[in-house]
Amino acid sequence: MNYRRYILWMMLAGSLCTEVFAASLDNLQKTEEGSKKTIEVTKEAATKLAEETKDVASELKKSAVEALQEAHEKVSQIVVAESTSPTGEALYSKCIACHGVDGTKHALGKSAVIAGQSIDMLVGKLKAYKAGRRNVTGLGAFMQKVATPLSESEILALAAYIDTFKQQKEKKDD
């Protein structure tokens, strides 16, 4: 190999090296850009996901609240339906003489007014009379006689019917 040829080869190799170096530098920059972009996209996706999760959570909360309200409404409807059912009303016909058509009379001039008492309270008291465990004014025996033949569902129907007196009273107050 003569001297000239050698120089030529060296130059060729040198330029080749520069090109390769430039290309790999370019590649390196691209890779860095790519990584940055990946990080950005990942961040964006994570933020979006977090927001979406929040949305879903509040949506769930909303529908839970709605379901609760709906259930509450249904229960009220059932109570009203039961209270206005003929059973409660028919059974109450036996109570009118002492407690009044709207439950506002003091029975035999002594009892507490039953209109406005909660269903729970009414049920508890009627069950207590039935069991002979209640006598507030000394006239409890009258109530025991009335309550003894009542079944549990009849007591419930009566209490629900008496509860409508309270609702009527509230309506009047409006």
Binding mask 150-169 for ligand HEC (x = CB under 6 A): --------x-----------
Q: Which of residues 72 and 162 has its CB atom nearest to ligand HEC in the complex?
A: 162
Among 30, 74, 110, 133, binds ligand HEC (CB under 6 A): 110
CA angle, residues 118, 120, 125, in degrees to nearest 5: 100
Spatial separation of the C-alpha atoms in residues 33 and 109, rounded to whole Å: 93
Q: Which of residues 23 and 112 has its CB atom nearest to ligand HEC in the complex?
A: 112
Does the footprint of ligand HEC cover residue 108 (CB under 6 A)?
yes
Q: What stretch of H or E contains 151?
A: none
Spatial separation of the C-alpha atoms in residues 129 and 142, rounded to whole Å: 9
Binding mask 54-93 for ligand HEC (x = CB under 6 A): -------------------------------------x--
Report phi then psi at 116, rounded to 5. Answer: 95, -10
